[in-house]
Amino acid sequence: MVEKSEHGSLWPSLYDPFRNLGNKLSDWLSPATEASGNDAAYDISMELPGVSDEDIDLTVEEGVVTVRGEKKTHEEKKGDTWYFSERQYGAFRRSFRLPEDADGEKASARMKDGVLHVTVPRKALAEPEAAKKIKISRT
């Protein structure tokens, strides 16, 4: 039995090969990232080779760290009989929801060797109050 495509035709849609192109493109532009934590802080490391820190916007809002930026790299090489030019341009955005014990107000960041390092210290959570004994009066 031949199944119909979602458009009702027996033939595949002309657009089927391009249906997920946007997702694949955003994955390609999205920088490789690692997140980890220890007793003192949470760390996010993001590979951003060739991206200047002036081209990065880093914010913390309502418990979410967001990194926005734009890759703008251009490489040009010339030889006696050859020429090579390669360009990469594109905006990226990554967001990370912070755990409840993260202190976003004290987050810091540094760029080293093309890697952005974001550190968010942990804060002590309030201990739950111990059960309080209530006396029952006889009135």
Residue by residue, pLDDT tens for the chain (139 residues) are 445 545 555 555 555 655 555 555 444 557 889 999 999 999 999 998 878 888 899 999 999 999 998 877 677 888 888 777 776 677 889 999 999 999 999 999 999 999 999 999 999 877 778 888 888 888 7
At residue 36, the pLDDT reads 93
At residue 53, the pLDDT reads 85
Domain carrying residue 110: 16-121
pTM (2 decimals)? 0.63
Would you say residue 33 lies in a domain?
A: yes
Structurally, how many domains does the chain consist of?
1
Would you say residue 11 lies in a domain?
A: no
Would you say residue 77 lies in a domain?
A: yes
At residue 130, the pLDDT reads 82
Would you say residue 83 lies in a domain?
A: yes
- 99-136 burial string, b = 16+ CB within 10 Å, else e? eeebebeebebeeeeeebebebebeeeeeeeeeeeeee
At residue 22, the pLDDT reads 54
At residue 78, the pLDDT reads 83
At residue 99, the pLDDT reads 92
CATH of residue 28: 2.60.40.790
Backbone φ and ψ of 34, nearest 5°:
-130, 140
At residue 105, the pLDDT reads 92
Angle at 64 between CA 62 and CA 67, to 5 degrees: 130
Would you say residue 105 lies in a domain?
A: yes
Angle at 45 between CA 44 and CA 46, to 5 degrees: 120
Q: Which residues contact 95 (CB under 8 A, 6 or more apart)?
A: 64, 65, 66, 67
Would you say residue 56 lies in a domain?
A: yes
Tokens matching residue 3: 């199944």
Would you say residue 39 lies in a domain?
A: yes
Would you say residue 92 lies in a domain?
A: yes
